[in-house]
């Protein structure tokens, strides 16, 4: 699905030097590389504050803590996402409210979102799934109208640009109150271990995020709030600093592969290529097709037998997961989400896909039904 070694080999010298220099500096925690990466990412995203942390799940949790959400507060998010989004809501004793997604863009359906709002609703967590922004224009309109916080889960979409109707363009994760991301190795900007970050343009929130990520202390050994211990380590920051200048080139490579796939599959009546939202660029964390009138799992086994890895993100909706069952969903129609759980399939997508790889993959896929 990914080729992390191939990508590393192209920038090996710089990466090796950066890692070694952290080792030799002995500043392993919150060293100058962490500060440096934070600044570099602020520039790239054009956002006032980046607060690094240990992973993308922590980023979501710290964001919710910083907004002062209390047990019983409802947080609305998409039913079709990675579990981390809903997990932290539950962990903080907030009430997750899962809603339907758009069957074409895979992102939160804003009509279902607005319908799910109650007097207990405090926040919305749109997830920019597979690398394309959710309908942020609508999300922000709804948030303003109902006075709700917005946390953008940008783990799959770092670098995507969203353009509003008035022509204003912003980076994914810098539109709502807080954006969160993950630097897990296979993410579009991945380090060589775990890492994550939060983004905000709000000075007060930035202070709070930073404090909560660091044991709730405003100065050493003085704890104003209950916090957590969540740091990006210096070696990972050094790696990310070397990789960030390549992020736009990586996004281009991913788009090139996506276009190749699109051209190969657009004529097939048993596959639907991923829809593009005209307000968002796509950074193709995943290239995800929908199957039509065939057995998706048979296609997946056939591909695996023929040397093409393929994955299903995600096979079971969250409201059917044991941990997240809730009678509130008994009467909710999740037919879009459930149809996606049955029909989606993701093909290899990374920065090192050559024309030969793409030709082999597309030829193999097409031969499934010949
Ligand atoms: C990867 C991911 C996360 C969690 O990131 P970690 O760094 O693995 O904790 C959260 N949300 C989404 C949508 C993700 O894809």
Is the beta carbon of 277 within 6 A of some atom in ligand 1? no
Q: What is the model's pLDDT at position 341?
A: 97
Q: What is the predicted pLDDT for the residue at 218?
A: 87
- Percent of the chain exceeding pLDDT 90 equals 98
Best of 82, 86, 190 for a ligand 1 pocket test (most atoms within 8 Å of beta carbon): 82
The pLDDT score that the predictor gives to residue 16 is 98
How far away, in angstroms, is 180 Cα from ligand 1 center? 9
* Mean per-residue pLDDT, 279-300: 97
Residue 299: per-residue pLDDT: 97
pLDDT on residue 280: 98
CA 274 to ligand 1 centroid distance, Å:
21
pLDDT computed for residue 195 by the predictor: 98
Calculate what percentage of the chain has a pLDDT beyond 70: 100
Cα(81) to centroid(ligand 1), Å: 9
233 lines ligand 1 (CB under 6 A): no
**Cα(85) to centroid(ligand 1), Å:** 8
- pLDDT digit string (tens) for 151-160? 999 999 999 9
Cβ of residue 102 lying under 6 Å from some atom of ligand 1 = no
Mean pLDDT confidence for 82-86: 93
Rounded to the nearest whole angstrom, what is the distance from the C-alpha of residue 294 to the centroid of ligand 1?
Answer: 30
Decide if pLDDT at 255 tops 80: yes
With cut-offs at 50, 70 and 90, classify the pLDDT of residue 92. very high
**Distance from chain centroid for Cα 167:** 24
Dihedral sign for Cα 62, 210, 153, 64, please: positive
Mean pLDDT for the chain overall: 97
- For residues 125-154, give the mean pLDDT: 98
CA of 182 to the centre of ligand 1 (A): 6
Q: Is 106 in the pocket of ligand 1 (CB under 6 A)?
A: no
Best CA proximity match to 146, nearest among 191, 193, 113: 113
Mean pLDDT of 213-234: 94
* pLDDT above 80: residue 370: no
Sequence-ordered alpha helix ranges (H) in the chain: 4-10, 12-25, 32-45, 56-66, 84-91, 110-115, 136-146, 203-213, 234-243, 247-265, 296-305, 335-343, 355-366
Which atom in ligand 1 lies closest to the alpha carbon of residue 184?
A: 7
pTM, to two decimals: 0.97
Give pLDDT tens digits for 27-65: 999 999 999 999 999 999 999 999 999 999 999 999 999
| Cα gap 141→164, rounded to integer Å | 11
Please tell me the predicted confidence (pLDDT) of residue 263: 98
Q: How many CA atoms lie within 13 A of 167 on its CB side?
A: 0
165's tokens = 């109707």
Q: Is the CB of 153 under 6 A from ligand 1?
A: yes
How, if at all, do strands 149-153 and 121-125 pair? Answer: parallel
Domains and CATH numbers, the chain: 4-245 (3.40.640.10), 247-369 (3.90.1150.10)
Average pLDDT of the residues in 226-255: 98
Cβ contacts of 232 within 8 Å, gap of 6 or more:
34, 37, 52, 53, 54, 183, 195, 196, 197, 240
CA of 131 to the centre of ligand 1 (A): 12
Rounded average pLDDT over 96-110: 97
- Give the tokens for residue 148: 């709700």
């Amino acid at each position: 699905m990914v080729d992390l070694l191939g990508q590393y080999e192209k920038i090996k010298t710089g990466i090796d030097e950066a890692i070694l220099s952290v080792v030799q500096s002995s500043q392993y925690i919150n060293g100058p590389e962490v500060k440096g990466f934070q600044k570099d990412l602020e520039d790239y995203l054009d956002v006032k504050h980046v607060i690094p942390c240990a992973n993308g799940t922590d980023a979501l949790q710290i964001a919710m803590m910083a907004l002062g959400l209390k047990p019983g507060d409802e947080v609305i998010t998409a039913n079709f996402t990675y579990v981390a989004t809903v997990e932290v809501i539950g962990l903080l004793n907030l009430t997750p409210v899962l809603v339907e997604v758009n069957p074409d863009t895979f992102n939160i359906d804003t009509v279902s979102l607005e319908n799910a709002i109650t007097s207990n609703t405090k926040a919305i967590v749109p997830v920019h799934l597979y690398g394309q922004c959710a309908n942020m224009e609508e999300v922000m309109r709804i948030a303003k109208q109902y006075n709700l916080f917005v946390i953008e889960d940008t783990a799959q979409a770092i670098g995507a640009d969203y353009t509003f109707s008035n022509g204003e363009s912003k980076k994914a994760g810098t539109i709502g109150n807080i954006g969160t991301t993950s630097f897990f190795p296979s993410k579009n900007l991945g380090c060589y271990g775990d890492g994550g970050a939060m983004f905000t343009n709000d000075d007060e929130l930035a202070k709070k995020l930073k404090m909560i990520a660091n044991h709730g202390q405003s100065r050493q050994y003085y704890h104003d709030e209950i916090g957590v211990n969540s740091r990006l380590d210096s070696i990972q920051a050094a790696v990310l600093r070397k990789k960030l200048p390549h992020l736009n080139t990586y996004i281009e490579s991913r788009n090139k592969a996506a276009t190749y796939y699109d051209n190969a599959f657009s004529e097939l009546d048993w596959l639907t290529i991923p829809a593009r939202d005209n307000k968002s660029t796509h950074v193709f964390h995943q290239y995800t097709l929908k199957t039509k009138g065939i057995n998706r799992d048979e296609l997946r086994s056939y591909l695996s037998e023929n040397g093409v890895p393929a994955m299903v993100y995600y096979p079971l909706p969250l409201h059917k997961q044991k941990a997240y069952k809730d009678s509130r969903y008994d009467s909710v129609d999740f037919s879009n989400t459930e149809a996606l759980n049955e029909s989606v399939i993701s093909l290899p997508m990374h920065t090192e896909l050559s024309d030969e790889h793409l030709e082999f993959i597309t030829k193999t896929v097409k031969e499934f039904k010949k």
